[in-house]
Amino acid sequence: MPLLAVSSPPAELSTRLGRIPALASLSGEDLARIAARCAIIEVPTGATIAHEGAPDRSAFLILAGTARLERQGEEIGTLGEGDHLGELSLLALRDRSSTVVAQSPMTLARLDREGYDAIASATPVLALSLWERLLAGTTARLVEEVESSALLLRGRSLPRRSVLRVRTPDGPREVRLGTTVGELLPREVAGRDVVAGLVDHKAVSLSAHVTSDSDLGVLTTSDLDGQRYYRNSQALLLLEAASRVAPEARVRMSHSIGMGQRVTVEGLGDGDLEEFAANVEAAMHSLVTNDRPLLEEWWTVDETRAHFAAAGWDAAVALLEVWREPAVPLVSYGNLYALNPGPLLPSTGRIDGFQVVADGAGLLLMYGQDAAPRSIPPPAATPGVARPADRNPLTREALATSHLTAVMTAEHDRWLRALGITSVGAFNAACIAGQVTQLIHVSEGFQEKSIGHIADAILENRARARVVCIAGPSSAGKTTFIKRLEVQLQINGINPVPVSLDDYYVDRDQTPRDAAGEYDFEALDALQLPLLHDHVARLLAGEEVVTAHYDFLSGTSHPAGGRRIQLRPTDLLMLEGIHGLNPRMLAPEMTGAVFRVFVCPLAALPFDRLARVHASDVRLIRRIVRDRHTRGHDATESILRWPSVRAGERRNIFAYQHHADAVFDSSLIYELAVLKVYAEGYLLEVPRSHRAQATAFRLLQLLDRFVTILPEHVPRLSILREFIGKSGFKY
């Protein structure tokens, strides 16, 4: 399509040329001299301005419109108002290197070789200045392309397009190859910090580069995964700070307690732990002030193993023994490197809300309100200046919860150390060495012994404990735990009489609704509390009671439609439901007669000193496998429901776990190696374009770190059978 030349008043063209950035600082007189030698060209949409390889000797200055650059049929960039092209061709240095096609109607100022020679003849200084200015723009574009290529074209024979189309939350955009995710996303959404990006529904750090056309989303601290990435950033910051305060100390992140995370400290010598906590927190704040960037690097397996061996990171060394990729992703906020646990904040300046306090023999990293998976007390009124004891943000309830979980996980860790299983890598090594059967027997035996201890504790409190309430989050293994506890109680001469709280739901049309207007079946007020109180009181008084029954199909309550029961002297009433730890579930006068048990997987093996398996991930994988086997739900559906499930747990279970008289850790050291057999296939079924893909991909990466154990090794009475099937119990 031929280009159309039109006339334009020289004064008007001079003004328009002055808006070209490369020419903006020229005098009006010089602009007029250039304008006198330019032709104005109007270009319709779709017209080709220049052809790759053509010997055309003209430069073009874009006065209006946009154009697309192509090379060998691939789009490599765009040009717009104020840009210029063809500078090298103008002086016959080379033929056209690319094809230029108008994406919209365009207005160009064309300076051909004859016009440039006329300027050079009349005013050589202006000709040289014009050449230098146009060449400077070419150099800047060349540097940008070289930097992008060096970063993104490793090992590629086919060139990438340098301009990509990205669908952002604010609409579609065209961006240059290598643009970071953080450049395309806001710092906050609805008042919550943006922690990571979602590129085609996979979580990436904000410093990750865009390398193809993609859909771009956000993860904030309102998302479960966003909270996790924020907490991991805080943990890496703490390890970096501790390495500066006391390089000789061995500091590692330990078990989570919901509102914070335990930190073990070894090798501190005679140093004061409270002083160490204060110094570490101060060093963390200093790193935040200095805004140190996140370093994301790929090392070979051998050099990574050598580095961690020299640093004494035995868990990381063991994990690398079965590392299947040719390289290892590492992260750092300075000098200390750790295995990359997933997206982290791009710099320390974006980390906030943390506190570090001494607790027992170690530290507690308190996450802060935005990053905490469960609610925490408000921070101290005068952080940084108050006495360490005054700065401890834990309430009595939080301390009770922390103590219960600490006792349980400490016992779990003790027998694991005796087996030499202190990390995921050590577990894999033991399995490869043929110790699978022994690991399973010891793990199952530890649980059975724990259940026996709980049954003994109930027997010791038999004079007062006439009701046992059992509660725990989704997929904690409560059903099998209850079956096994019943056996242990019967061994102690106690006959448990179970009553399900589910039979005490109110009629569906009387069920309270949540903020979204949906029925909230997890609310305490969804139960017929007066009826429940009456039945429990009468049973404990020795009366015969016809219990309630709830018809889930019709949503109808039948207050006297259940079993007829009467407690004998050897009987013990056992109530199971999500509100079992809530004191309001029973009448106030019953408080002293209740023994409460909290059931949840707690202990988890570490990958290195920074990251470990999350108990919530174990529960989600359990749920995915169970729901597929028994309810016909696919992994996508289970993942989508998980945030609302977790929200209900925080409100109705974890908020009351400090009332528990006993805690049962339902985690099994070997279970992910077995669940992997089923879960990998189910997770791979999640569509790549679905928003559940981010979680599915993360869980697949988790499972990939474990060797595989066949389900045939799992005992018939194991809690794991509740999820994979073929249990010896009838549910």
Structural contact between residues 148 and 178, judged by C-beta atoms closer than 8 angstroms: yes
Average pLDDT over residues 180-184: 95
Q: Is residue 691 part of a domain?
A: yes
Between 402 and 474, the higher pLDDT residue: 474
Of 366-375, 397-406, 555-564, 609-618, where does mean pLDDT reach its minimum?
397-406
> Confidence class of residue 257 from pLDDT cuts 50, 70 and 90?
confident
Task: Give the residue from 152, 172, 193 where a domain finishes.
Answer: 152
Q: Is the model's pLDDT at 442 over the cut of 50?
A: yes
Residues 529 and 610 placed together within one structural domain of the fold:
no
What digits encode the pLDDT tens for the residues 76-92? Answer: 778 899 998 888 777 66
Residues 282 and 345 placed together within one structural domain of the fold:
yes
Residues 584 and 439 placed together within one structural domain of the fold:
yes
Residues 545 and 583 placed together within one structural domain of the fold:
no
Average pLDDT over residues 370-385: 46
Taken in order 253, 255, 260, 266, the sign of the CA dihedral is negative
| pLDDT of 382 | 30
> Confidence class of residue 383 from pLDDT cuts 50, 70 and 90?
very low
CATH of the domain at 170: 3.10.20.30
For residue 671, what is the enclosing H or E element? Answer: helix 671-684
Q: Is residue 557 part of a domain?
A: yes
CA distance 472 to 600: 6
| pLDDT of 388 | 37
Contacts of 418 (CB under 8 A, 6+ apart): none
Domain with 95, as residue range(s), is: 4-152
| pLDDT of 121 | 92
Helix, strand, or coil here: 473?
A: coil
> Confidence class of residue 474 from pLDDT cuts 50, 70 and 90?
very high
CATH of the domain at 252: 3.30.980.10
Contacts of 414 (CB under 8 A, 6+ apart): none
> Confidence class of residue 24 from pLDDT cuts 50, 70 and 90?
confident
CA distance 694 to 419: 35
Q: Is residue 194 part of a domain?
A: yes
Residues 591 and 668 placed together within one structural domain of the fold:
yes
Q: Is residue 694 part of a domain?
A: yes
Contacts of 402 (CB under 8 A, 6+ apart): 257, 359, 364, 394
Q: Is residue 246 part of a domain?
A: yes
Q: Is residue 470 part of a domain?
A: yes
| pLDDT of 402 | 54
The closest of 467, 496, 501, 466 to 481, measured between CA atoms, is: 496
Task: Give the residue from 118, 152, 186 where a domain finishes.
Answer: 152
Give, in order, the Cα–Cα distances in Å from 283 to each of 242, 247, 357, 505, 699: 8, 13, 14, 53, 33
Q: Tell me the whole-structure pTM to 2 decimals.
A: 0.77
Q: Determine the residue type at 643.
A: P
Any idea how long the chain is? 731
Residues 196 and 269 placed together within one structural domain of the fold:
no
Q: What percent of the chain has pLDDT over 90?
A: 69
Residues 386 and 419 placed together within one structural domain of the fold:
no
Residues 470 and 609 placed together within one structural domain of the fold:
yes
Residues 506 and 464 placed together within one structural domain of the fold:
no
- Sequential DSSP letters for 249-274: SEEEEEEE-SSEEEEEEE--TT--HH
What digits encode the pLDDT tens for the residues 268-304? Answer: 977 789 999 999 999 999 999 999 999 999 999 999 9
Task: Give the residue from 133, 152, 171 where a domain finishes.
Answer: 152
Between 187 and 419, the higher pLDDT residue: 187
* Mean pLDDT over the full length of the chain: 88
> Confidence class of residue 379 from pLDDT cuts 50, 70 and 90?
very low
Residues 560 and 595 placed together within one structural domain of the fold:
no
Residues 429 and 536 placed together within one structural domain of the fold:
no
Q: Is residue 302 part of a domain?
A: no
Of 176-180, 293-297, 335-339, 474-478, where does mean pLDDT reach its minimum?
176-180
Total domains, the chain: 5
CA distance 669 to 397: 29
CATH of the domain at 105: 2.60.120.10
Q: Is the model's pLDDT at 411 over the cut of 80?
A: no
Q: Is residue 157 part of a domain?
A: no
What digits encode the pLDDT tens for the residues 398-409? Answer: 555 555 566 667
What digits encode the pLDDT tens for the residues 223-249? Answer: 999 999 999 999 999 999 999 999 999
Residues 384 and 416 placed together within one structural domain of the fold:
no
Angle between the N-to-C axes of helices 635-652 and 693-703, in degrees from 0 to 180, rounded to the nearest 10? 90
Q: Where are the beta strands (DSSP E) in 224-372?
A: 250-256, 260-266, 295-300, 327-332, 338-339, 355-359, 362-366
